[in-house]
Structure 1
Amino acid sequence: MTGHPVITQAMIDAYDEYTHLTLDRRGFMEKLSRLAGSGVAAAAIAPLLAANQAQAAIVPEGDARLKGEDITYPGGAGEMKGYLVHPAGQSGKLPAVIVIHENRGLNPHIRDVARRIALEGFLVLAPDYLSPMGGTPSDEDKAREMFGQLDPAQTIANGVATVAFLKGHELSNGNVGAVGFCWGGGTVNTLAANAPDLKAGVAYYGGQPKDEAAIARINAALLLHYAGQDERINAGIDAYRAALEKAGKSFEIFVYEGAQHAFNNDTSEARYSKSAADLAWGRTIAFLKKNLR
């Protein structure tokens, strides 16, 4: 479109540093203003880097093909909130998939992703990992701050409890997989090392476990998607690959050249890559069907 601001890799890197490391919005806007040449230009570019929840859902909430509801279920200690969705007219039991959100919490985009997977014939649960702190707030900056306050051991316990809940659900065939994005991708890797019942894990640009003993405990088949332009996360790929190979695990790694961290998130204009997202999505659905049916 005419007059669209030019977004450079340095701007995307600055946004990534802000959202994942510093959480300092003022510092980010100052840096973006320097990179863009002015505060006015920075103000135009910032929304293109961020996610825009006003974007239309790919699968609307009221889609008649699906049945979705907000639920609570037992976590590791205390109650978990989540969004449960499945095909409306299914007969028989379904393979089950956990969808784990980014470091923005259980927002409209992740609910949309859950519906997309449900349309492929799955029972899908998107947990709210901020449940111990009251649940995901509408303010994304507040949500990101809350992730730093989560107890990692509690997060693991809540993930293991989510696997157990879906495995025993009346609509489930007992086979449970997980798909996660960004923070959720790292959480899928950690969950695989702690939930022996997890059959399949798909991690989109997720941080890798470093502990070889933990990696050796993984039972799930893994599908690992990475963005080519994601130095922070990609720094851990080689060590993870070596540890998975050494432990004889079943895994596939795909790097999408030229794509940015969060390339699957279609609500983020500057970082979304339709070509990478579509390719990774096709691989993800085929992988889940193969391992959970």
Structure 2
Amino acid sequence: MIMKKIVSFIVFVLFLSEVKAQDFALKQLEDSPRHHEWVKVKSGDREVHCFVVFPEVSTEATVAIVIHENRGLTDWVRSFSDQLAEAGYIAVAPDLLSGFSSEYKKTSDFPSSDDARNALYELAAEQVQNDLNAVQAFAAKMEAGNGNTVAIGFCWGGSQSFRFATYNKQLDAALVFYGSAPESESAIGNIVAPVYGFYGENDSRINSGIPATEKMMKEAGKTYDYEIYDGAGHAYMRQGDDPDASGDNKTARDKSWERIKAILSEI
């Protein structure tokens, strides 16, 4: 009984820590003047929960499909989506843990972010592909959209963003934040959209694959343009949003936002 109480207390403390870590993102969302809504996108016999944010603009806008990190659709991912809308773009952030089980129907249903992460790695690649294709088709037809769609992904989502470009020829760009690239030359050969990479200097696990990716993309005649930000680590976009962020992560985050806006302004 004592051990059970100790374990429960540890889980509770970790939960509070996770909640506190997202406090800045929640505040940003609560203070936002922009319109937020949840929609369900049909994907075969599944429904994908999506968080949608609209910009305060008078013209139709490009739609950015925001692919979350390996802990699911978190408050920070929603906060990033809101920041995209602040920059003038429609953001659609799908929860790829939608319908995981009868008990866990979306990311927020999981007891902890570790549980969400473990579930994410159980997803079938085909299901992820089908869900993202369905979301792209939805995004391309949004009445407030201009028909252009881009993918922006982080960590696990960064890898998915790169892969998205290998099987969906309707994307206008793929922005990959510290995610790995497909290793198949045939998959690389299917890419139509330009791919833009964003990496932190202190992320050797991901960065070690960049030379091979660059070589394959160049040989296939594909656009692969990337930046490596000095002193930044993995997940620097999320960490750089935190008011207590390190100087390097914050600088990398700010420079990346400038680059995001420059890229999207050309689409």
User: Matches of 2:259 and 2:28 in 1, distance apart?
Assistant: 19
The equivalent residue for 1:82 is: 50
Amino acid at match of 1:149: E
Displacement of 1:55:
2.5
The equivalent residue for 2:58 is: 91
> Are residues 1:217 and 2:190 paired?
yes
The equivalent residue for 2:69 is: 102
> Are residues 1:135 and 2:106 paired?
yes
The equivalent residue for 2:124 is: 151
Amino acid at match of 1:283: R
The equivalent residue for 1:3 is: none
User: Matches of 1:84 and 1:283 in 2, distance apart?
Assistant: 22
**Secondary structure, counterpart of 1:132 in structure 2:** coil
**Candidates 45, 50, 67, aligned match of 2:35:** 67
Pick which of 162-171 and 266-275 moved more. Answer: 266-275
Query: Is the alpha carbon distance of 1:225 and 1:104 closer, same or farther for their aligned partners in structure 2, counting shifts above 3 Å?
Result: same
Amino acid at match of 1:97: A
Displacement of 1:76:
4.7
5+ residue gaps, structure 2: 1-12
Query: Is the alpha carbon distance of 1:258 and 1:126 closer, same or farther for their aligned partners in structure 2, counting shifts above 3 Å?
Result: same
Amino acid at match of 1:110: V
TM-score for the superposition, normalised by structure 1 = 0.78
User: Matches of 1:232 and 1:173 in 2, distance apart?
Assistant: 37
**Candidates 196, 202, 216, aligned match of 2:175:** 202
The answer as to whether partners of 2:61 and 2:88 remain within 8 angstroms in 1 is yes
Query: Is the alpha carbon distance of 1:270 and 1:144 closer, same or farther for their aligned partners in structure 2, counting shifts above 3 Å?
Result: farther
The equivalent residue for 1:4 is: none
Displacement of 1:270:
6.8
Query: Is the alpha carbon distance of 1:210 and 1:86 closer, same or farther for their aligned partners in structure 2, counting shifts above 3 Å?
Result: same
Give the CA RMSD over aligned residues.
2.2
> Are residues 1:125 and 2:92 paired?
yes
User: Matches of 1:75 and 1:285 in 2, distance apart?
Assistant: 30
User: Matches of 1:76 and 1:228 in 2, distance apart?
Assistant: 40
Summarize deviations over 1:224-272 as a string: whole Å, max 9, x none: 0111111111121111111111111122111112211011113665777
* Runs of 4+ residues deviating >6 angstroms: none
The answer as to whether partners of 1:61 and 1:112 remain within 8 angstroms in 2 is no
**Secondary structure, counterpart of 2:88 in structure 1:** coil
The equivalent residue for 1:290 is: 266
Summarize deviations over 1:136-169 as a string: whole Å, max 9, x none: 0351111111111111111011111111110011
Query: Is the alpha carbon distance of 1:97 and 1:56 closer, same or farther for their aligned partners in structure 2, counting shifts above 3 Å?
Result: closer
**Secondary structure, counterpart of 2:83 in structure 1:** helix
Displacement of 1:223:
1.0
User: Matches of 1:276 and 1:254 in 2, distance apart?
Assistant: 10
Amino acid at match of 1:53: Q
Q: How many residues align?
A: 243
User: Matches of 1:226 and 1:82 in 2, distance apart?
Assistant: 26
Displacement of 1:77:
4.3
Displacement of 1:58:
6.8
User: Matches of 2:48 and 2:30 in 1, distance apart?
Assistant: 21
Amino acid at match of 1:86: F
The answer as to whether partners of 2:188 and 2:220 remain within 8 angstroms in 1 is yes
User: Matches of 1:276 and 1:62 in 2, distance apart?
Assistant: 24
Amino acid at match of 1:63: S
Identical-residue share of aligned pairs (%): 33
Within a 5 Å distance, the mapping from 1:156-175 to structure 2 comes to 156-175=129-148
The answer as to whether partners of 1:68 and 1:86 remain within 8 angstroms in 2 is yes
Query: Is the alpha carbon distance of 1:114 and 1:242 closer, same or farther for their aligned partners in structure 2, counting shifts above 3 Å?
Result: same
5+ residue gaps, structure 1: 1-42
The equivalent residue for 1:182 is: 155
User: Matches of 2:216 and 2:27 in 1, distance apart?
Assistant: 37
**Secondary structure, counterpart of 1:248 in structure 2:** coil
TM-score for the superposition, normalised by structure 2 = 0.85
Displacement of 1:91:
2.6
> Are residues 1:254 and 2:222 paired?
no
Query: Is the alpha carbon distance of 1:280 and 1:76 closer, same or farther for their aligned partners in structure 2, counting shifts above 3 Å?
Result: farther
The answer as to whether partners of 2:72 and 2:116 remain within 8 angstroms in 1 is yes
